[in-house]
Amino acid sequence: NPKSTPNAVAVNRDNDLIYVFGTINEVRTTEVRGKVYQINPPIGVECLVFDKQGRQQNTLKLENLLTVSGAKIEFGKLFVADISNKIISIFNAETGELESSITNGLRTCCGILDFSITPNKEILVANLGAFRVQAFDFNGEFKYAFGRRGPGINDFQGCCNPVNVAFASNGGILTIEKDPTRIKLFSKDGARQITGIDELVHGCHFIPAIIDSKNNLFLASPHAGIVKCVPGKAAAAMDARIASAR
């Protein structure tokens, strides 16, 4: 019997448990210029843990959160993005104990705050309001950053970008920009754009994306369905083959 409407999910691949997150809202009344309004501000987050058969196994009380825009589980840790507090919090995935947070300079925009976890234990954050990708360790300490606002291949353009970031197994970092859609692979030699991708969203909207173990990139679009992008084996040849479910 959840107290909230689910709005994010994460899977613990170590034990196949499914974590379902929901923002808890409180009904309040407020008066503005003599008129009474009802508001529903967020006051916290609940996390229900289920097995593959849908049986609830646990309920985690996650401190320091108002909302959840995305969550991931890696290395026994639960990473949660909170757009209201502009933080990414790191919890023990089993107990829900808060271990650390990333709070420095995260500039959310359009209700978007995406991140990715690398095999070498880095948290890559698509800090779209700052037009940068930033990397942090699991203690929330800053490590490095790249990108700036601009039209160039190494820059991020539009009102706020990138909206998504993913780590490729060849060591490159994939970034996704919206309006116009641009998919780029960053390596030590700079950025290369993956060509042949249609416009996936219009305006300031999130583009969900995930990369598999073979470096295939899957993106979600409200009008094009699921788009599969295959960059190819050579980072120098970035022509993309697109398959979309329309």
Structure-token match 């609830």, residue found: 56
Return the pLDDT at 111: 87
pLDDT digits 0-9 by tens, 17-57: 999 999 888 888 888 888 888 888 888 899 999 999 999 99
Both structure tokens of 109 = 């925009």
Mean pLDDT computed over every residue of the chain? 87
pLDDT digits 0-9 by tens, 105-137: 899 888 899 999 999 999 999 999 999 999 999
CA geometry: angle 132, 78, 184, nearest 5 deg: 30
Q: Return the amino acid letter for 194.
A: I
User: Per the confidence metrics, is the pTM higher than 0.75?
Assistant: yes
Cβ burial of 40 (10 Å; 0-12, 13-18, 19+) is exposed
